[in-house]
Amino acid sequence: MMYRISPFLRRFALALLCGIGLATLWANLWPAGYYDFIEWRIADPNLPDWIWAGTVTLTPFMVVTDMLMALFFFFIGKELWEALVLERGSLSGRRAGLPLGLSIGGMIGAAAAWLTLSALIETAEEAVPGGGWTVPLGSDTVLIYLFARMAFGRGHPALHLTILMAISTDILALLVLGLSNPNLSVRLVWLALPLLAAVVVGRLFGRRPSVDATERRRLRGQRLWPYLLAGAVSWFGTAASGMPASLGLLPIIPAIARAERSFGLFAEAEGLLNDPLNRLTRAIMWPLTAILFLFGLIRGGVDLLAFAPTTAVTLGALWIGRPLGLALAALVLISLFGNRLPRRVGWRHLAVIAPLMAIGFSVPAVAIGAALPGGAMAEAARAGLVLSLLAGPAALLLARILKV
């Protein structure tokens, strides 16, 4: 049974699209004002080298991408964690094989297509041979959900499978992005800070009170401030280590006291649960709407004159590489290893899921800054990400043709 999905997910998608649309208009009608806005120097904190490598400049670009978007990845990371560990979780036990396998297959296909097309058609002077392959690994959970709901309806198992794949793709892509950073060094020792924060807060506050626990013990288990403090420490340690700062809140998710069973991905019924993990998630729902609008505004401004071979490479990786990788993974997992599709999900549904997963914006937009040189090449890649959103309407047309 698939429970009703929270209406916030649709609001997130619309807020992101509005930000992208406004940013593109702004970047083309008044480019100087747009780039002055996203690069505005708010402050220049002076941190010792042993804490932070290089100079730190707070700009709207950094605040939104590295700080505020950590809340969004906490939001989807929470859903992935619950799917893995809770009773009846969507990825518990053997259920994890197919969605994770399809996600990994799509990521491999996207990376392979990027490398192949880069070698064949890339002309940018700043391009590095074999570089940039992490850009198309991720997808966009909220935008994929928006189009998948229109394609399958809100209660269909194919919608559930699509969301699972989008979440796992985004989290895995961020992890690969962090681990493939060539600048990683001894600074990785800072990752001990998130680990320590998670262990301490988990042992002191994250255990569920026993049935015969005192009222004081129960109240202590419902406090939120220890998790907020642990989250701040975890974010700082992750950022200082050189890993993507947007991953900074993920380490504390397993340490937060949670419900005993899952109601499904982004289930509206979880709004009635009073465990700390669901209370924290509810607290950031409305702020996330504004954050995703700002992310679209900061990252979505596309110069219509920025089209270049990098744009074609980006689109080819997402529109050709990911669907092909997904299709090959499906053939291997289902035909050779005997994995079964969920009930009421067939090959026609997978044919629609493939172009849906070719949508890439939020995580690839984060990856551009770390994987590509700045300037024209990054702008051309960003144009490809925005154009990839056209895969959504294409998937809806295919769904109508196939009558899924």
pLDDT > 90 fraction of the chain, expressed in percent and rounded: 60
pLDDT tier at 390, thresholds 50, 70, 90: very high
pLDDT at 89: 73
Whole-number average pLDDT of the chain: 89
- Flag whether pLDDT at 232 surpasses 90: yes
- Flag whether pLDDT at 182 surpasses 80: no
Largest Cα separation within the chain, whole Å, is 69
Question: Domains (ranges, CATH) in the chain?
Answer: 8-183+285-402 (1.20.1530.10)
pLDDT at 129: 86
pLDDT at 186: 75
| 72: CB partners within 8 A, 6+ apart | 246, 288, 291, 292, 295, 362
pLDDT at 266: 84
> For the segment 191-218, what is each residue's pLDDT rounded down to a tens digit?
999 999 999 999 888 776 555 556 666 6
pLDDT tier at 286, thresholds 50, 70, 90: very high
Helix (H, G, I), strand (E, B) or coil at 93: helix
pLDDT at 145: 94
| CA-angle at 161, arms to 107 and 381, nearest 5° | 35
CA distances from 357 to 167, 212, 227, 325, 399 (A): 11, 48, 33, 11, 14
- Flag whether pLDDT at 94 surpasses 90: no
pLDDT at 220: 65
pLDDT tier at 350, thresholds 50, 70, 90: very high
pLDDT at 183: 66
Q: Tokens at residue 94, please?
A: 């053997």
> For the segment 266-281, what is each residue's pLDDT rounded down to a tens digit?
888 787 788 899 999 9
> For the segment 46-90, what is each residue's pLDDT rounded down to a tens digit?
877 777 766 778 899 999 999 999 999 999 999 889 888 887 777
pLDDT at 158: 92
Q: Tokens at residue 20, please?
A: 């992208």
pLDDT at 269: 79
> For the segment 322-334, what is each residue's pLDDT rounded down to a tens digit?
999 999 999 999 9
* Consecutive H or E run containing 354: helix 347-356
102-137 burial, b if ≥16 CB within 10 A, otherwise e?
bbbbbbbbbbbbbbebbeeebebeebeeebbbbbbb
Report the sign of the C-alpha dihedral through residues 379, 385, 390, 393, in that order. Answer: negative
Least confident of 105-109, 124-128, 155-159, 230-234: 124-128
pLDDT at 230: 96
Tell me if 135 sits within 8 A of 114, measured CB to CB: yes
Residue range 376-402: mean pLDDT, rounded: 94
Residue bearing the bigger pLDDT, 264 or 126: 126
Place of tokens 């320590």: 196
What's phi and psi for 31, nearest 5 deg?
A: -60, -40
Name residue 317's amino acid.
A
Q: Tokens at residue 340, please?
A: 């079964």
Residue range 336-359: mean pLDDT, rounded: 92
Nearest Cα to 143, choosing from 370, 365, 401, 404?
A: 365
Strand partners, 267: 5
| 188: CB partners within 8 A, 6+ apart | 241, 242, 243
Q: Where are the alpha helices (DSSP H) in 242-343?
A: 276-283, 285-299, 309-316, 322-330
Alpha carbon distance 109, 129 (integer Å): 18
> For the segment 126-157, what is each residue's pLDDT rounded down to a tens digit?
888 888 999 999 999 999 999 999 999 887 88
49-78 burial, b if ≥16 CB within 10 A, otherwise e?
eeebeeeeeebbbbebbbbbbbbbbbbbbb
